[in-house]
């Protein structure tokens, strides 16, 4: 364990100590959420530690994800065919993590369309998403030195209604026949409608969502699908920024800790249920 890890552990211990002292004194914090507080501190410090390591130049390996490497291939294909690229950022607002992740991927896609001079069409269903998506696209076109190619209407509002939005996007697909369709964001029942239409027009389709119930539809109808967390890590993969890469490593360590906790709970609860130990481990993980 190196010096920085010890410092982090020390900081964590001090914060937790102060928290319990304040809790005992009855100030600021209320009782019953101790497990959550400790978990938040542990998760935050673990991610912070690995982010710091990455920033200091430590190389972090990331396994390849097919869906992300295919993004460029899809935009390239659209450019070769002289057709546009359709990007659907889901049907939810900016308060959903999936939508934010989707817009980060949109930024990357917009950079490529600017670079290759391919058309980009982004129909949205929420006004705030429209604003954010416009900002994202504008920045990407500026970054690529092609501000002249950017126009506000490449990101346009359709409707807030779920199925009306699906019908509108379907119409766009059938009329414009984009060569590449990206579905990156939060989706509900419209996912299969969109993906099936994209499939019927022969577009290369790349989907990404954190909605477990919609992943099966995308897996069925799309060429590539970013499943759950693959989708959330896309920003780190695409940007290659050390702080984001470090956070991926940190999250992996958190997952490992969670797995260890699961195994401990599995064994300890089994022993408790059989009456071999009195202590119920579940009380350690129960918040109010």
Partner 1 sequence: MLTTELIGAWFSVFLTLGIISYLYDDNPFYKAAEHIFVGVSAGYWVSLFFWTQVQPNLFGRLWPRLTEGTEYGFFHRLWYGIYNILGSINSGIFPENGIEGHPEIRMIYLIPLILGIFMLLRLVPKVGWLARWAIAYIVGMAAGLRFYGFLNSDVMEQIKSTTINFSGDWIVLINGIIMVVGTLTGLLYFFFSKEHTGVFGKLSKIGIYFLMISFGASFGFAVMGRISLLIGRFDDLIKYSGREYHNATFWLLALMILLLFVWAFTGKKEQDKATA
15 touches partner 1 (CB under 8 A): no
Candidates 159, 238, 239, 243: give the one binding partner 1 (CB under 8 A): 159
3-state secondary structure of 72: helix
Q: Quick one: tokens of 9?
A: 């552990």
Number of Cβ within 10 Å of residue 4's Cβ equals: 12
- State the minimum distance, in angstroms, from the CB of residue 123 to partner 1: 10
Binding pattern to partner 1, positions 169-188, x when CB under 8 A? -xx--xx-------------
Nearest to 87 by CA among 192, 202, 172: 172
Long-range contacts of 49-54 (CB under 8 A, 24+ apart): 49/4, 49/5, 49/8, 49/250, 50/246, 50/247, 50/249, 50/250, 50/253, 51/242, 51/243, 51/246, 51/247, 51/250, 52/4, 52/246, 53/4, 53/246, 53/249, 54/242, 54/243, 54/245, 54/246, 54/249
- Contact between 287 and partner 1 by CB under 8 A: the answer reads yes
Site for partner 1 in 219-238 (CB under 8 A): 219-220, 227-230, 233
Query: Is 215 an interacting residue with respect to partner 1 (CB under 8 A)?
Result: yes
CA–CA distance, 86 with 69 (Å, rounded to integer): 18
Least CB distance to partner 1 at residue 275 (A): 8
- Residue 51 as a binder of partner 1 (CB under 8 A): the answer is no
Nearest to 210 by CA among 194, 237, 231: 231
- Binding segment toward partner 1, per CB under 8 A, in 22-30, 60-68, 70-78, 141-149: 60-68
Of these, 45, 60, 71, 195, which contacts partner 1 (CB under 8 A)?
60
Pick from 143, 167, 238, 239 the residue near partner 1 by CB under 8 A: 167
Task: Return residues touching partner 1 (CB under 8 A).
Answer: 35-36, 39-40, 43, 60-63, 65, 93-97, 100, 127-128, 131-132, 135, 157-161, 163-165, 167-168, 170-171, 174-175, 189, 192, 212-213, 215-217, 219-220, 227-230, 233, 248-249, 251-252, 255-256, 258-259, 261-263, 265-266, 269-270, 273-274, 282, 285-287
């Amino acid at each position: 364990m190196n010096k920085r890890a010890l410092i982090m552990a020390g900081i964590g211990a001090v914060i937790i100590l102060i928290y319990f002292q304040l809790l005992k004194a009855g100030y600021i914090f209320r009782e019953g959420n101790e497990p959550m507080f400790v978990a938040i501190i542990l998760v935050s410090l673990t991610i912070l530690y690995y982010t710091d390591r990455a920033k200091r130049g430590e190389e972090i390996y990331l396994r390849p994800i097919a869906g992300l490497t295919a993004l460029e291939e899809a935009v390239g294909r659209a450019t070769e065919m002289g057709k546009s690229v359709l990007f659907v950022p889901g049907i939810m607002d900016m308060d959903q993590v999936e939508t934010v992740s989707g817009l980060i991927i949109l930024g990357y896609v917009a950079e490529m369309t600017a670079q290759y001079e391919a058309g980009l069409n982004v129909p949205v269903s929420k006004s705030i998403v429209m604003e954010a998506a416009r900002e994202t696209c504008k920045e990407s076109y500026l970054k690529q030195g092609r501000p002249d190619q950017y126009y506000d209407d490449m990101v346009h509002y359709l409707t807030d209604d779920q199925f009306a939005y699906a019908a509108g996007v379907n119409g766009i697909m059938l009329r414009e026949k984009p060569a590449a369709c990206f579905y990156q964001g939060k989706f509900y029942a419209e996912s299969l409608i969109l993906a099936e239409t994209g499939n019927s027009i022969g577009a290369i389709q790349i989907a990404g969502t954190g909605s477990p119930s919609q992943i099966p539809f995308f897996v069925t109808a799309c060429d590539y699908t970013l499943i759950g967390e693959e989708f959330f890590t896309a920003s780190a993969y695409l940007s290659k920024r050390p702080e984001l890469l470090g956070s991926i490593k940190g999250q992996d360590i958190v997952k490992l800790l969670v797995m260890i906790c699961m195994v401990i709970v599995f064994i300890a609860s089994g022993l408790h249920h059989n009456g071999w130990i009195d202590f119920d481990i579940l009380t350690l993980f129960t918040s109010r």
